[in-house]
């Protein structure tokens, strides 16, 4: 790529937000450069790993349910008949007087999301693999399921490249906040290459506070998250997607994903971990993390209580103050957009985020106040799950 080439838009970060943004901008007729330091869906990224739940439920938060609905349509259009989306269904485990799940059920009904409310007896009949304990009822999202994350991101990038998006594997140097509304005409990579564009989108997940340390270091918090895969019994489809949905138990901040591609049953705790550096952090799970997951697994899926660990993974969340996304213009550059703050729930929304960013870049009009920079506080108070 010649250094003097000028693009309409340069998108920094080829995770799910950046990949879909580049794809949607290209569809709108822009000449787009997509750049990433380690590659689409790489092991350091928040969009890496094997699987992500795509669900519609968000309590009373209709904005995210609508985004998830739109995103599922776009995921299915792009992925076609491939196995990169597994329609396993998603099961919510609710307690008596469960305010969040009750609000979820109401929202799903209001937005015509196909789902079933299951009582305790029906849960036990359908899913004998699970031990329900204090669970009183559940919600089954019948059309939801699991996205195969790493490969899905790579598929989006491949589609974008076929549309003419230029991909570059390099890292961009940090930018500092500048006073006043000024234009950014170029960025520089660590190897001295200049990237020239009319507009810039930084959608680089846990690297956002590293590229904009003065602006974002106290507003996007990167945390270490551990994921475990447990081996299932031989010659059994008991834990496969056709017999077991992905399930979510937010009362205990844990979720599970069925055995896909014979990798094992995936379990992770959704509580935020300690601070983490995506470039240099060691990605080895802790004994304490394994013990905590095993304890919860013993309660919820006793058949796998003593199952061997087949894989582990350390990824990261990049959390905003309350879990809302950051999708806004940089306060110091009139032609720079900041896209991130996936906060552990963002992967499913990649297509809708890409559409929103493409519209923002084209019109300059902010779509949703909750996603603005000014709402990103320095004190953590998680409200979106």
Burial class (CB in 10 A: 0-12, 13-18, 19+), 204: buried
Q: Which residues of the chain are under the pLDDT cut of 50?
A: 1-3
DSSP code at position 333: B
pLDDT of residue 262: 94
Domains of the chain, by residue range, sit at 1-50+148-219+320-378+381-385, 63-147+221-317
Identical fold between 1-50+148-219+320-378+381-385 and 63-147+221-317: no
Beta strands in the chain (DSSP E): 6-12, 32-36, 52-54, 85-86, 90-94, 115-119, 137-141, 145-147, 166-169, 186-188, 194-202, 221-230, 246-249, 254-257, 265-269, 309-319, 326-329, 336-340
Q: Please, which contacts does 127-133 make with residues 24 or more away whose CB atoms are closer than 8 Å?
A: 127/91, 127/244, 127/245, 129/238, 129/239, 129/243, 129/244, 129/301, 129/303, 130/247, 130/300, 130/301, 131/299, 131/300, 131/301, 131/302, 132/93, 133/299, 133/300
Q: What is the third-level CATH fold of 63-147+221-317? A: D-Amino Acid Oxidase; Chain A, domain 2 (3.30.9)
- Residue 19 dihedral angles phi and psi, to the nearest 5°: -65, -45
pLDDT of residue 181: 62
Give the CATH architecture of domain 1-50+148-219+320-378+381-385: 3-Layer(bba) Sandwich (3.50)
Instruction: Tell me the pLDDT tens digit for each residue of 243-291.
Output: 999 999 999 999 999 999 999 999 999 999 999 999 999 999 999 999 9
Closest CA to 91 of 72, 115, 109: 115
pLDDT of residue 39: 98
Distance of CA 3 to the CA centre of its chain: 33
């Amino acid at each position: 790529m010649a250094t003097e080439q000028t693009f309409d838009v340069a998108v920094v970060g080829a995770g799910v937000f950046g990949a879909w943004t580049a794809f949607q901008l290209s569809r709108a007729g822009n000449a787009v450069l997509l750049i990433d330091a380690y590659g689409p869906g790489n092991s350091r990224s928040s969009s890496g790993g094997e699987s992500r739940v795509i669900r519609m439920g968000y309590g009373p938060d209709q904005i995210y349910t609508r985004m998830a609905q739109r995103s599922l349509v776009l995921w299915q259009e792009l992925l076609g008949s491939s196995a990169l989306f597994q329609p396993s269904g998603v099961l919510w485990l609710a307690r008596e007087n469960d305010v969040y799940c009750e609000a979820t059920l109401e929202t799903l009904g209001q937005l015509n999301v196909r789902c079933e409310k299951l009582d305790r007896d029906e849960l036990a009949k359908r899913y004998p693999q699970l031990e329900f304990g204090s669970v009183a009822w559940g919600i089954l999202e019948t059309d939801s399921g699991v996205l195969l994350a790493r490969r899905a991101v790579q598929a989006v990038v491949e589609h974008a490249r076929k549309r003419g998006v230029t991909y570059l594997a390099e890292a961009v140097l940090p930018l500092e906040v500048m006073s006043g509304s000024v234009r950014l005409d170029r960025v520089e990579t660590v190897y001295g290459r200049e990237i020239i564009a009319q507009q810039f989108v930084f959608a680089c997940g846990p690297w956002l506070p590293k590229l904009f340390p003065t602006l974002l270091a106290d507003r996007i918090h990167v945390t270490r998250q551990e994921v475990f895969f447990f081996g299932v019994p031989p010659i059994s489809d008991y834990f496969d997607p056709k017999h077991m949905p992905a399930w979510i138990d937010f009362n205990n901040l844990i979720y599970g994903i069925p055995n896909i591609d014979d990798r094992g049953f995936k379990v992770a705790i959704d509580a935020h971990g300690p601070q983490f550096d995506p470039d240099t952090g060691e990605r080895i799970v802790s004994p304490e993390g394994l013990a905590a997951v095993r304890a919860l697994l013993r309660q919820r899926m006793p058949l796998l209580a003593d199952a061997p660990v087949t894989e582990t993974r350390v990824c990261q969340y990049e959390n905003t103050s309350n879990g809302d996304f950051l999708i806004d213009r940089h306060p110091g550059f009139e032609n720079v957009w900041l896209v991130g703050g996936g906060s552990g729930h963002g992967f499913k929304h990649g297509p809708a985020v890409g559409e929103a960013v493409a519209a923002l870049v084209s019109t300059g009009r902010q779509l949703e106040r909750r996603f603005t920079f000014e709402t990103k506080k320095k004190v953590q108070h998680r409200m979106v799950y």
